[in-house]
Structures are given as structure tokens and as C-alpha cells.
Structure 1
Amino acid sequence: MHFFTPFVANKKSTYLHHMQIRKANSSDLPSIIDLLKVSLGESLVPKSEELWNWKHLANPFGSSPILIAQDNGLICGVRVFLRWEFRQGEKLIKACRAVDTAIHPDYQGKGIFKSLTLSLIEELKEEGVELIYNTPNAQSSPGYAKMGWEKWGKLPLKMHFNLKLGKNKNQSPKSDWSSISSLFEKIENGSHTSDKIQTNLVSGYLNWRYTTCPLFPYHFISDGETYLLIYRIKDGKIGKELRIVDFFQLSGFGKNEKKQVNARLKTVQKNEGVRFTSFSGLQFQNDLPIEMGLLPVMSIGPEVTLRKVATSDDLVPKPWAWSLGDLEVF
């Protein structure tokens, strides 16, 4: 274990004089994990090397840029952006998502978070990264706004409650992701004709994002050819939620496939004892084949913010087409 020595600040100017900001290397990882635990606690997301490696090293868009703040050899701050790519037709848009950040409690309130964040943005600007996006909470949102982040708004959310919850709670079998590996390839190798801005489905993305994700288990409903619905089951205060995070339609998807996916979805809802189903994202702009009841679409999903880097375009009005899978908390 790597422990942190308590810090007693004198004057801010003296403090900053000794501070070093540098790129992280592999030998820093144990200290970074310790810092995340000390600063943030375990909370809902365990701070582990397994999660870190999945998120920041195995990412098919590339390894994450990481800056650390160091004081006399002690790592007291870390700032990480997750590499991402969007595509609009044939245009590739390099992006990052603002994710992990931690400042040791003894060093908080000294401007280290802002310094690390702005320094990392300058590095990304030189690489041609056009924008940074994230889904901050109410506590962190004002700080991001001061550093140039703009509010896009909250994602639309559709909810459907199961009022006839039965006693049948036989859990569905674990999803066999290997059975649809060819469908993954079909989706990832598809043509790029949409004028909407969507995640660039590079080879290996779906496997990384859903099959190997250590945060929670994902499941799917699919005929193996024309559609893929990805969901996860979440326990909440009012009961189980079936949260749809991605839905892909391919050529050949018609009336029969629409009936099939909805019938299979109802079977899962019954087997899992689901109290309500949710579907958030910008796919409501299309003719969505998922039957989600009569409740209106509400703008109460995750709040999205955007920050220009190496672009002068106005980001907010662009034709975004995020799925919840793009924006779930990592």
C-alpha cells in the first residue's frame, strides 16, 4: 500500500512553487489508485486496477491522457480524460470525455484541479482533439462552467411502468455475448451515411464497452441478424429497473422483428420482476420500435456539457445522436 503524508500549507505562492505537473507513467498507477480511494472513497464504483486498465488502457479509441500533480515526490492530484471518437457521415471527430479526477484532501482548494484540467486541455488541443464532453453532477457543474464548458441539456428519458408485477422472478440466463460476435462485426463494419453525430463504432468497441465492462453486467436481446438491444438490470428504491442503454437496427428489420424484440423484452421484464423500464438517449428522434407505453418523453436524463478544444464550431446545436451507452457514468 502507498500511504499519503499529511500536508500543512503555508502560503499559496510557496505551495505552488513546489508543485510539479507531469504526465503519468505506469509506475504511478498504485499511487493513483490510492489517491482515488483517499479522495473519493469506494462509493458506487470500486477504485481498482482492473477498472482502471479496462477504462484507460483497453479502450479501443486509445489510452487515456493523464496528468498528475506532484509535491516533493508525493502524487496529490490526478486528472484523466477518456478518449472517444464520434462520426458524422464520413467525418471523424476526435473527442475526449472528462472522467477521473482526484485531489488529496490535504491539497484541496488550492487550484490544482483547475490547473490540471486546463493543462490537459492544452495538450489535447495540440493533438487535434476537437471537444470534451461529460455528464457532471450538480456539485461539479459550476466549476466546469468557469473553465469553458457549455450546457447542452438533459437527455430525454422514456419510462414505462409494469403495473402488473407478478411473483415470477426467475432471472434470465446470463447473456452469451460470443453468440453474437458476428453481429458485432456487422454493426461495426456498417456504412456511415447518417448526418447525425454518433459514436464511431470502431472494431472491438462493442466488446470492450459491454462484454468486458467490469462495472456491471450487461445483457442483450437479439435475433443475431437485424437488431441488438443492450440493457442492464438496476435495483432501485421503487424496485428493479430494466435500463435500455443501446439499440441497433440493421437492414432487414421489419414488422416481424419489431414484434419479436418487444415480445422478448416483455419476457425479460417478467422473469426479472422488473418494476419499470427506462430508455434514455437521442434515438427518440427516430421511429423507435420499442413499445414503451403512453408516458411522455421527459428531459430528466443525464445532463450533458461540452467544451471546445481544437474547434471554433458552436457545439450545442450540432445534430448529436447519443445513446445512454455513450453517456453512462464510467
Structure 2
Amino acid sequence: MADLEIHPLQRQDEADVVELMRLALYGRDFPDLPGYWRWKHYDNPFGESFGLVARAGDQIVAVRAFMNWHLCGGGRLLRVGRAVDMAVHPEWRRRGVFERMTLALLEPMTAEGLVLTFNTPNAMSLAGYLKMGWAHPGRLPLRVKIRRPLRTTVRVGRTLLTRVIGGGVSQGGGGQALQGNVDNSRVLRLLRDPAVVELVQRAREAQLVAISPRSTAFRLRTALGQEYLEWHYGKNRWYPYAATYEAQGPAAALVIGRLRQRAGLVELLLTEVVTCPGRRGRALVARAAARLARETRADYLVTSALGGTPGALRGYIPVGRRGVDVTVRLLESTLTVDPSTWAGWAAGIGDFELF
């Protein structure tokens, strides 16, 4: 690779990088890829992404990008990286470019205080991450609640049911063509409701309280915040979301879900659940999820089996590790939470949605 020069990713590289992404990763039909790139790497409220480009002469032949991300765990706010985009021109594949650029980004991320990086590799890249020393918690464990058993069974048959439900959760559009003009303005308006803003603030404060390691809230999940929720769900033009809010006295719950069509069925992925500790909060989560399922006419619901609201999962059936594959690389050795196994996580589906 003597002719390959690696440089930090710059905004002026965008046009060439997007063209490479179309060629090597996303394909020509991905809607508004320049807008998607900017939303993901520049508009992210956690900060602009870390990135490198590789040039052969005047041509960009590879790009590697890690999103800035924040997790809460062990009563701490943790700056982490999220490996998302890696594209290599076909003529430069199988020359070690993936490994070289990935490892090269770890040094500046560590220098800026990031404590770990995680990602959701596909079947092709998983072996590469394991070779570089990433830990492998495995596929995200899921739970499912079937609302219309007869319709669901008739549509897909019993033998195919577990293949359809939850299969490939968060892996892109789930077989649907993505759009670049999805209107999530209703979700955005709900997120800006003063009562919801207050709930999000209280839930964020609860995340940062130093508590017992035996508590679910001690484990890792994305740091809640108003800007993050608005960016992820309200300003996302590529995936359709629905949301609802329930309150009773001081207790409240916000539930956000993503809709997909799978085998002729409407699947509702519960991507975000926001509440405060307590039985009333858990009961309101269950009520809000049921309401959202009715409003969206979902045939079944899918949620993470790691979530921090176990009392709200009554009626949900474990279907095993059928979510996205996750790998992790520690950049700091002083964490009080172990991210290398699912025992260290309390993450929901939204924490690992494919970006």
C-alpha cells in the first residue's frame, strides 16, 4: 500500500466520499445519501464523527468513519465511538485497508477521552473485528408480543414465525425500500411537548445517579437527552417512527417505535422507552406500548430483552438472540461496567439501530 495516503476526513471530501459510498456500500438507489451522510456525521448532537480517507493519487479509494456517541453506565456519562461506515473501492479490497484505517482511528479517539467503541457489523466484517481484538457480546436478545395470533400464523405459518419475527432487527429497512422524505413531524412535536421534555430531563438525571451494580440502571445504554431524541427520531427522514406518551400523577412514560412490513405483517419495533424508576412508570410503559400498537395496527411488537423496564414486559415471549450482532473494543481499562457481555448492557433496540 505504498501508493495509499491516509488523511483526516474533511467536509470538502463529502462529494467524493458519498460517491464512493454509493459504489461500495449503499448502492445507487439509496435516497438522498448526501443528506443522510450529513445527518449522521455532522448533525449528530453527540458531536461530529471521527473519520479518515485514503487516497490513491487524487482519488479517494476508502473512507472509515466512527460516530461520536454517549453512553451512561455505572453512574457515569461515557464518551464512546460507534463504528459505522467503512467503504473501500473494489480495486483496493483485500489489501488490509479495512484493518489499517480502523486501527488508525483508535489513537485519536483515545486521546480525546473516548472509553470504548462499539458497532453492529455485518456477516462480512464481523470476522475482521474479531481478528483485531473486538469483544463479541453476540446478537441482541429480543422479546416479542403477538397481538393477532391467528392472522400472524396464517400469514407466515408456525415454522416460519420465529424466522420472521425479530429477524434482522435494525438491519436497515428490513426488506423495504428506504425513503428520503419520511415525515416524523408528529414525533418531533410530541418530543417538544413540555411534559415530555420534563420526563426526559428526569430520566436523564436518573441515569447519572451512582447506584448499585445490581441495578439495571447501572448498565450501559445511550445517554438520554432532548437533542438526541429529536435528532434520532424527529428529524430522521429515512425511517418512519410513531410515538405516544402516558402520564398518571407524577409518573409518566414515553414510547417510540419504528414500523416495518415483514411477510405481510406490521412489525412495531419498540426503539425507545423513557420512564422513571417505579411500578407506576413500568405500568405506564405497558399501557403506552399497547396504545401505540393499536394506533399503528401492529400485528406484533418487538423489544430488547435487556431493557430497564422488566415489569413492562409481561406477555412478551423471549425469542433468543435474533437482533443485530454487536462487537465492542475497550479504549480504557477503568470502566466499572463490562461491555463485553450482555450482562453489562441495558440497551434497547434504538441504541443499536443501523446507521
Give the TM-score, by structure 1 length. 0.83
Residue among 179, 190, 212 paired with 2:205: 190
Q: Measure how far apart 1:86 and its partner are.
A: 1.3
| Correspondences of 1:50-61 after superposition (within 5 Å) | 50-61=35-46
Residues 43 and 90 of structure 1, relative CA distance in 2, 3 Å threshold: farther
**Would you say 1:230 and 2:260 are equivalent positions?**
no
More helix by share: 2
One-letter amino acid of the counterpart of residue 20, structure 1: E
| Correspondences of 1:120-199 after superposition (within 5 Å) | 120-161=105-146, 162-165=148-151, 175-181=186-192, 182=194, 183-188=196-201, 189-191=204-206, 192-193=208-209, 194-199=217-222
Residue among 289, 303, 308 paired with 2:325: 303
| C-alpha contact 1:281 1:324 (8 A) present in aligned 2 | no
Write out per-residue CA displacement over residues 118-147 of structure 1, whole angstroms, 9 at most, x where no aligned residue. 111122122221111011122210011111
**Would you say 1:209 and 2:260 are equivalent positions?**
no
Q: Tell me the SS of whatever aligns to 1:231.
A: strand
| C-alpha contact 2:254 2:288 (8 A) present in aligned 1 | no
| Correspondences of 1:4-83 after superposition (within 5 Å) | 16-42=1-27, 46=31, 48-83=33-68
Unaligned stretches of 5+ residues in structure 2: 153-183, 210-216
Write out per-residue CA displacement over residues 18-47 of structure 1, whole angstroms, 9 at most, x where no aligned residue. 211000111100000000001124388546
**Would you say 1:241 and 2:260 are equivalent positions?**
no
| C-alpha contact 1:131 1:311 (8 A) present in aligned 2 | no
**RMSD of the TM alignment (CA)?**
2.7
Structure-2 separation of matches of 1:180 and 1:103? 38
Q: Tell me the SS of whatever aligns to 1:143.
A: helix
Residues 207 and 133 of structure 1, relative CA distance in 2, 3 Å threshold: same
Q: How many residues align?
A: 305
Structure-1 separation of matches of 2:278 and 2:53? 50
The corresponding residue for 1:328 is 353
Q: How many percent of aligned residue pairs carry the same amino acid?
A: 28
Higher Rg of the two aligned structures: 1
Unaligned stretches of 5+ residues in structure 1: 1-15, 167-172
Residues 68 and 207 of structure 1, relative CA distance in 2, 3 Å threshold: same
| C-alpha contact 1:226 1:252 (8 A) present in aligned 2 | no
Q: Measure how far apart 1:269 and its partner are.
A: 3.4
Residues 118 and 83 of structure 1, relative CA distance in 2, 3 Å threshold: same
| C-alpha contact 2:275 2:285 (8 A) present in aligned 1 | no
Write out per-residue CA displacement over residues 245-301 of structure 1, whole angstroms, 9 at most, x where no aligned residue. 11112368628x83x654554454345442221112411x643324434x3352222
Residues 128 and 262 of structure 1, relative CA distance in 2, 3 Å threshold: closer
Residue among 274, 279, 302 paired with 2:298: 274
Structure-2 separation of matches of 1:242 and 1:54? 24
| C-alpha contact 2:246 2:288 (8 A) present in aligned 1 | no
Which deviates more from structure 2 when the two are superposed, residues 202-211 or residues 175-184?
A: 175-184
Structure-2 separation of matches of 1:71 and 1:176? 44
